């Protein structure tokens, strides 16, 4: 894999940035199609995308910088080198959640309904981002002895890791084969996207789409973390991503309970409002 798509003079276009841009474009395309039934206009969707994109990238970068603070404290200018990669998904997810909250208040939208709508695009955009990670060589997997193992070229992050750990020599042209965990997660997200879209179109109560996503994605992410080979910040013997996955799964249970409670209340009201059949005697 090569992180650069092409270069023209001093301008270098990286796969990571291209796939991020594609992810945001596909997210907007999804919202425009899904939003038609809800009466959401293109302008509404594009405004939502702008604020989510801004806050999501900021949150993802801040999370990465904090996780790699030892490096960035010694090289502060590299904090702004986003084109080289270095975004943590959960940081972007939290940043985007804050943006949706403020957007809902500004546009007088029901927050839970807007969260349901916004989440329909998340797995699709996330899948594109993971393909970008694969092309960039970041977020790589552990050494893999299976035929699906992938070798990354010299000077890639995994190659440097294997050189520093003494597993390969400096003149080796590629890393050892590793799990293409980025592709694993991309495929997982595409499957989740199909499920989320189907559920959103057939849902009966607001909040159930949030619950579905938060009950499924964190489980998949928790499991995929075991295949990651890059350095992971750890809490209580687990990676930070696994700890956050457990927290978000708990939040998903809350939304599931809330959605079912709202559904039961709605059904109860409909039963009470049902017209009584008057009996007549002849």
Q: What is the 3-state secondary structure (H, E, C) of 72-128?
A: HHHCHHHHHCHHHCCCCHHHHHHHHHHHHHHHHHHCCCCHHHHHHHHHCCHHHHHHH
26 located within any domain: yes
| Count of domains for the chain | 1
Tell whether 236 is covered by a domain. Answer: yes
C-alpha to C-alpha distances, 157 to 51, 99, 124, 163, 181, nearest whole angstrom: 31, 32, 26, 10, 14
- pLDDT at res. 31: 95
Per residue of the chain (282 residues), what is the pLDDT tens digit?
Answer: 667 766 777 777 778 888 988 999 999 999 999 999 888 999 999 999 999 988 988 888 888 777 777 777 777 777 776 656 667 777 888 889 899 999 999 989 999 999 999 999 999 999 999 999 899 888 899 999 999 999 999 988 899 999 999 999 998 999 999 999 999 999 999 999 999 999 999 988 888 999 999 999 999 999 999 999 988 777 778 988 899 899 999 999 998 988 877 655 554 555 555 555 444 444
pLDDT at 282: 43
Task: Give the per-residue pLDDT at 234.
Answer: 78
Does a structural domain hold residue 168? Answer: no
Q: What is the pLDDT of residue 144?
A: 95
Q: How far apart are CA 16 and CA 32, in angstroms?
A: 25
Angle between helices 111-119 and 181-202 (to 10 degrees): 130
Residue 222 confidence (pLDDT): 96
Residue 84 has a pLDDT of 61
CA nearest neighbour of 175 among 204, 212, 149: 149
What confidence score (pLDDT) does residue 85 get? 61
Angle in degrees, CA 62, 66, 72, rounded to 5: 95
Evaluate whether residue 167 is within a structural domain: no
What's the pLDDT score for residue 66? Answer: 78
Structural domain contains residue 170 = no
DSSP 227: G
Nearest-angstrom CA–CA distance, 27 and 42: 12
For residue 160, is it within any domain? no
Q: Match 């039963």 to its residue by tokens.
A: 271
Question: Which residue range is the domain that position 23 belongs to?
Answer: 4-142+179-267
Predicted TM-score (pTM) of this structure: 0.83
264 phi and psi angles, rounded to 5 deg: -65, -40
**Spatial separation of the C-alpha atoms in residues 121 and 199, rounded to whole Å:** 13
- Within a 10 A sphere around the Cβ of 46, how many other Cβ atoms? 12
Whether 47 is in a domain gets the answer: yes
Residue 272 placed within a domain: no
Q: What is the DSSP string of 5-47?
A: EEEETTEEEEHHHHHHHHHHHHHHHHHHHHHHHHT--HHHHHH
CA distance 171 to 163: 9
């Amino acid at each position: 894999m090569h992180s650069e798509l092409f270069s023209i003079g001093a301008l270098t276009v990286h796969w990571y940035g291209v796939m991020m841009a594609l992810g945001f474009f596909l997210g907007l395309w999804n919202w425009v199609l899904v939003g038609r039934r809800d009466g959401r206009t293109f302008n509404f969707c594009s405004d939502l995308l702008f604020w989510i994109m801004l806050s999501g990238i900021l949150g993802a970068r801040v999370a990465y910088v904090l996780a790699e603070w030892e490096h960035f404290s010694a090289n502060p200018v590299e904090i702004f080198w986003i084109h080289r990669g270095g975004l943590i998904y959960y940081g972007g997810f939290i940043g985007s959640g804050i943006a949706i909250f403020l957007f809902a208040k500004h546009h007088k939208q029901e927050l839970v309904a807007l969260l349901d709508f916004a989440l329909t695009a998340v797995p699709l955009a996330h899948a594109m981002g993971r393909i970008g990670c694969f092309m960039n060589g970041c977020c790589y997997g552990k050494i893999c002895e299976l035929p699906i193992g992938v070798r990354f070229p010299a000077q890639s992050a995994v190659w440097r890791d294997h050189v520093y750990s003494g597993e390969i020599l400096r003149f080796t042209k590629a890393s050892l084969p590793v799990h293409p965990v980025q592709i694993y997660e991309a495929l997982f997200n595409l499957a989740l996207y199909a499920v989320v879209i189907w559920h959103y179109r057939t849902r009966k109560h607001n909040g159930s789409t949030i619950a579905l996503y938060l009950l499924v994605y964190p489980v998949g992410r928790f499991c995929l973390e075991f295949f990651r080979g890059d350095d992971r910040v750890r809490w209580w013997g687990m990676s930070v991503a696994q700890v956050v996955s457990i927290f978000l799964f708990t939040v998903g249970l809350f939304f599931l309970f809330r959605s079912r409670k709202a559904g039961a209340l709605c059904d109860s009201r409909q039963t009470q409002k049902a017209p009584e059949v008057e009996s007549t005697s002849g």
